[in-house]
Structure 1
């Protein structure tokens, strides 16, 4: 077809020449044109160039190796991932466990090396794994460790499912091993569960045994190639492998990223994105598929945000309903609150999904959209048992004495505050650079405060959790990653805006957070992170001191190597191209831990300096906090970002009333009707009504489009806002011309 078109164009050209046509080319040979509403002709290339002006300037960072190897992280990426892009101070080989060094037979090593696709013609069988299975009693011990220490956050195979589909078929009632009826991918799930569980065992060889179980999981996964068949167990195994790598090897991010993508693709192959109720499957299979989809969706979405790369799954491509809540909490009053996993799935669908669309839109949405997203995140209801105190305890709140419950308390806070940090960070960077003397006068002043307060909240709350459950907290890198990003933000505020009224407090927070991070994260952090924070603290202190003495020189280089990239440019997500002479590696850190945690310094919101600063604040700042129900601009770090309290419920139903802009949701006495806004779920007689979402009636529309959340609900007759294609397109076009100022 292309050749034929070229022939016709050539013939038309020749015909025009032979007939002595007028000067200029034939209309059909001119560049493609369209007409606007007034009939004016517009060149398509011109249109594209105009639209391209709306593309975000904060496109992230690209690392290019000497042979063309490339690695990209977008502007939302977690700071520790940007650190991988910086030129290394020294070369260091990654110490990765190799299956051939684990004392396993050749057949197992061969299969392990073929992961994830397996061998083309596999000569091995499941029976070659029987000798590596532990006793039934030991398997149950490790399973208990897994569910206590790992599955509290992500639980792709719930305990009852594990027992009925894996433990009983393998061990039966006698404890004698038999794998004849167990699919190889379920064997992989079993070994992966054992590997994850033993990481938390006090066995002296736990780390080595964990690697052996991991190798056995990879090997058994390859017995039946994923290219030929896939089941729910296939997806479970892949997600559990990713989680194991996250826990045990902080240097292996790219392996995790690729496997998450593969996991998502396999999930789509077996149709997890579509709800299973219409296929007349059994109740257990339907619940298994729903649990698995929402675990994958949540993990994929969050992984994409912290890596700064688009996700594999989209909320707009699924109608999968939420699974049954297997862990509801009974209040003393007899009313019921949703459990952690049920809340997590709903937050992912209603908040994280929209954040993902916002973060990865190449064309920048309006700033009002960002603030509306901010408000939706803050007002998303949180059950009482998941609310966390600011420090060790406070009136009406305390950390649970049960370790896993306390972890879930902080995780709920960490997810929300980190989410806010990521959506505001690029605006924070622009404000602090473009209005360095007083970023609170900048049009993005709300983002400055929002990011600063989220950073303080992440740090102070984790300090409280650490005081109650130090060992468990010290092993959760997901928590410490938020502290690392918070420290980067605090340091950036001081370096970029040392004369800002927040700078002194930010430097104090950074000092205390650095001591805390050094002590608490030693068991799980990437080795180079503490060195990076120490350098940033030195730079922040020097800049602040110079600003206070009046000798600050903004033109002086920030790096001893003028040709090297500015670390804050890279860590802040700004456009950077970094050329490495060798593959990136992280320098080792030998910083000693401090036994002292320090005292948390809250905002001096009552100080004259603070009030004076707000006296000249940008009007958008006043509007922002007025819309949050805090028109007096009272900004205590412990309260104004709290989730609304869930009031008493009746008949065992969740309830929350829609929030108006004038409501002060810091007041504990207020009650909310959770059923009208998020969810209606009745417990009793095996009847469970799935959640629905109702718009709060705001006139401002979030763009990109909010997902059609009615598809995720079993409850009918819920009034949800439907958008036609014209409205979607009109909103989309209206945002194309709204670009941010160039970042300096």
Structure 2
């Protein structure tokens, strides 16, 4: 072993982590029993605690690094007892405090392949990405479009750059006739624009006059003034083909062709050498295309990298600054400002749904918000979806920031209040179940606005929901994190019901938007975990009903939505698991009932987790964990009202004040035995028992491995 390569040694350790974890848990139980026996014996002979049971002996101090020779100081029962007791009870040895500053174990999933290839998915990552990481199946390579020559496909997948006129001419030859190109542009910029188009698209005049006309007037690749416009145009075509309402199967080979053609142009004229607004817009569209076409959750990294490149280019050309300081022509300045905030929104949300830190920072930003007010139904001007999304993204940065730093529970509840009270323009407020004929674009704007807010709330409360179920699943009503339990349940309820109503009213449009289906999968996960971990909860009956609703929804949509089709198996499995738990099947995690283990459920909820893909001859993966406690704090009146409805606790225990419930809160469905039911937050996190934390190597050394 001494001469083995470091990677081989690391892989051998990871291959046995599951067996090692079981041994650790056995030792934990044994040592805890010995501690209790020693405590009982000591009480019978003395009123003083035994020296080995002093608090300083039972906790590992952060300023005590592990000794070079473990046997020198840790062979005593007290040394091993403290390490293993802290691990068994779910406390991070480096965070032994039980105050507000204790970290909740929700750092996400680290995936390591047998040859060192690594991928990280944070605690807010979408559930289908986590499911994909946990699965043992290999990722299928994308099938290249049959019409394109191999050199175009290879060039589009390469990060190498260099002018190649021959390939450029070949790419230019794939442009559709002008009449068809105009038709695709009309589909891309609908009237009225959707929330999606507002966050990435160009205005109609800019698209037609500055991009389409410029490309077609050139007549040949070598005559293009800015070849990046050609890349942008193919990106527009790819998205238009995905969103084309006349196509029953929008995930066509032709859309994939346009994506490869757009990438190939950027390979010929690299934006890394010659940055332009068109290049940044092209990368933004490529990332958006991957988001719209990635129904299997297999390609989020490429879109994230496209956005990352676009962000670097944007800073490189000063998009983060107010262009009017340089007396830039007003239309050009507005274009730059709009593009910066489009990029800011897209980069923030793709980072959020991958659980990764955003690159862009508002601290160093001097770019004014886009001036694109819209006229509401009452004839009054109101902020556009892009302006609203830009401002909300700033708040989302604060939500993402709490996952990596210990925060008092009061801070979490204060963020909850900010999210719930964040202003939503009247035209973007959710009003589902309206009479037939509601514009598809308006309904989708409302749905996506709701999902963004509910996703934020869910991911904010999810770790505390997890901790409450872990600490006292049989008595949630008295747990200090009961506001988070209620808020998380509200999220699952609202997401499922909103998607069901949107599917009923505008099924073809909803079928094509993956970010509408992913939260519903997360909601099902939340409800399943609630039923399994807290079967005696007052919310169990309604949770089972919602699992039935969401499973039926995915079944109905599977034939026309690839997103629903790819997730329907997981949703059905979660429903069966919950039903089995209530039926009293003690073997509900057997392979015959479900292929997902309790540890997998914890990983899907965002708990700290290491997935080590073994070499072909071995298997195994490892988990990590921690815990936290906190004080109750003022909570939003919406959650307080739900607490009254469930009778779990008097809101006065958590919230002091006389505030009215916001008028824009949707009335939830009636729940059995209550007058009020939960609504309002996206889902993604379940509860869990402790697993290995970041001090894994220290535990291995202490155990002699």
Please indicate, yes or no, whether the TM-score normalized by the shorter chain is above 0.5. Answer: yes
Residues 319 and 268 of structure 1: CA distance in aligned 2, closer, same or farther (over 3 Å)? same
Partner of 1:94: 140
Deviation sequence 1:277-321 (CA, Å, 0-9, x none): 212211122111111111111111111121111111122221211
Q: Does 1:446 align with 2:488?
A: no
Alignment of 1:505-654 (within 5 A): 505-522=542-559, 523-525=561-563, 529-546=567-584, 558-560=589-591, 566-581=599-614, 614=647, 616=649, 620-623=653-656, 629-630=660-661, 636-637=667-668
Which of the numbers 332, 337, 346 marks the counterpart of 1:290?
Answer: 337
Q: Give how far 1:456 is off.
A: 0.8
Q: What is the rounded CA distance, in whole Å, between the counterparts of 1:423 and 1:366 in structure 2?
A: 13
Partner of 1:677: none
Aligned position for 1:273? 320
Deviation of 1:532 (Å): 2.0
| Equivalent residue number for residue 39 of structure 2 | none
Mapped pair 1:302 → 2:343: no
* Superposition deviation, residue 442 in structure 1: 1.1
Q: Which residue of 2 aligns with 1:192?
A: 235
Residue 68 in 1 paired to residue 116 in 2?
yes
Deviation (angstroms), 1:377? 0.9
2: CA distance, partners of 1:503 / 1:44:
40
Q: Which residue of 2 aligns with 1:328?
A: 374
Query: Is the CA contact 1:62–1:85 (under 8 Å) kept in the aligned structure 2?
Result: no
1:247 equivalent to 2:292? Answer yes
Structure 2 residue 406 is the aligned partner of structure 1 residue 364: yes
Deviation of 1:258 (Å): 2.1
Mapping of residues 137-286 of structure 1, within 5 Å = 137-148=179-190, 151-152=196-197, 154-172=199-217, 180-201=223-244, 202=246, 207-250=252-295, 251-286=298-333
Contact 1:62–1:576 (CA under 8 A) maintained in structure 2: yes
| Corresponding residue SS for 1:154 | helix
Aligned equivalents of 2:216 and 2:249: distance in 1? 25
The equivalent residue for 2:433 is: 392
Cα distance, 1:203 vs structure 2: 6.5
Moved more, 572-581 or 527-536: 527-536
**Structure 1 length normalisation: TM-score?**
0.67
Task: Tell me by how many angstroms 1:530 deviates.
Answer: 2.1
Residue 58 of structure 1 corresponds to 106
Please say if residues 156 and 292 of structure 1, whose CA atoms lie closer than 8 Å, have aligned partners that are also in contact.
no
**Is the CA contact 1:156–1:291 (under 8 Å) kept in the aligned structure 2?**
no
Contact in 2 for aligned 1:150/1:196 (Cα 8 Å): no
- Separation in 2, partners of 1:627, 1:84: 46
Q: What corresponds to 1:346 in structure 2?
A: 391
* Cα deviation code 1:241-260 (max 9, x no counterpart): 11111112332122222222
Name the CA distance, whole Å, in 2 between partners of 1:298 and 1:323: 12
Q: CA deviation at 1:153?
A: 5.3
Q: Secondary structure at the match of 1:388?
A: coil
Structure 1 stretch displaced more, 143-152 or 572-581: 143-152
The whole-number CA distance in structure 2 between the counterparts of 1:537 and 1:422 is 22
SS in 2 for 1:344: helix
Question: In the TM superposition, what is the alpha-carbon distance from 1:66 to its structure 2 partner?
Answer: 1.9
Does 415-424 or 528-537 show the bigger shift?
528-537
Measured against aligned partners, the alpha-carbon deviations of 1:171-204 in whole angstroms (never above 9, x if no partner) come to: 45xx977872431111100011112212344469
Q: How far does the alpha carbon of each residue in 1:85-131 deviate from its partner, in whole angstroms, 9 at most, with x for none?
A: 2133xx35515132xx53334653453243x4423x64547444332
Aligned to 1:28: none
Q: Is the 8 A contact 1:235 1:267 kept in 2?
A: yes
> In 2, are the aligned partners of 1:558 and 1:566 still within 8 Å (CA)?
no
Q: Which residue of 1 aligns with 2:524?
A: 487
CA RMSD of aligned residues (A): 3.5
Asked if 1:132 corresponds to 2:174, the answer is yes
For structure 1, list consecutive stretches of 5 or more residues without a partner in the other structure: 1-42, 547-551, 584-604, 640-665, 667-739
- Name the structure where helix makes up a greater proportion of residues: 2
Correspondences of 1:453-464 after superposition (within 5 Å): 453-464=490-501
Alpha-carbon offset, residue 427 of structure 1:
0.8
C-alpha contact (below 8 Å) 1:431/1:444 kept by paired residues = yes
What whole-Å deviation, never above 9, does each CA across 1:672-713 have from its counterpart, x for those lacking one?
Answer: xxxxxxxxxxxxxxxxxxxxxxxxxxxxxxxxxxxxxxxxxx
In the other structure, the counterpart of 1:403 is: 440
CA distance in 1, matches of 2:321, 2:152: 36
Find the residue that maps to 2:611 and give its secondary structure.
Answer: strand
Q: Residue 473 of structure 1 aligns with which residue?
A: 510
**Higher relative contact order, chain-length normalized (CA < 8 Å, sep 6+):** 2
Q: Distance in 2 between matches of 1:486 and 1:183?
A: 46
Q: Could you tell me how far 1:499 is from its partner in structure 2?
A: 0.5
Higher mean C-alpha deviation, range 159-168 or range 473-482: 159-168
Q: Within 2, Cα distance between the matches of 1:471 and 1:372?
A: 38
Number of aligned residue pairs: give it: 550
CA distance in 2, matches of 1:543, 1:357: 36
Shift of 1:515: 0.8
Instruction: Report the Cα distance in structure 1 between the residues aligned to 2:564 and 2:141, rounded to whole angstroms.
Output: 13
Cα deviation 1:471-520 (Å, max 9, x = unaligned): 11111111011111111111111111111101111111111111112222
Separation in structure 1 between the aligned mates of residue 596 and residue 151 of structure 2, nearest angstrom: 51
Structure 2 CA distance, aligned partners of 1:539 and 1:306? 26
1:152 shift after superposition: 2.8
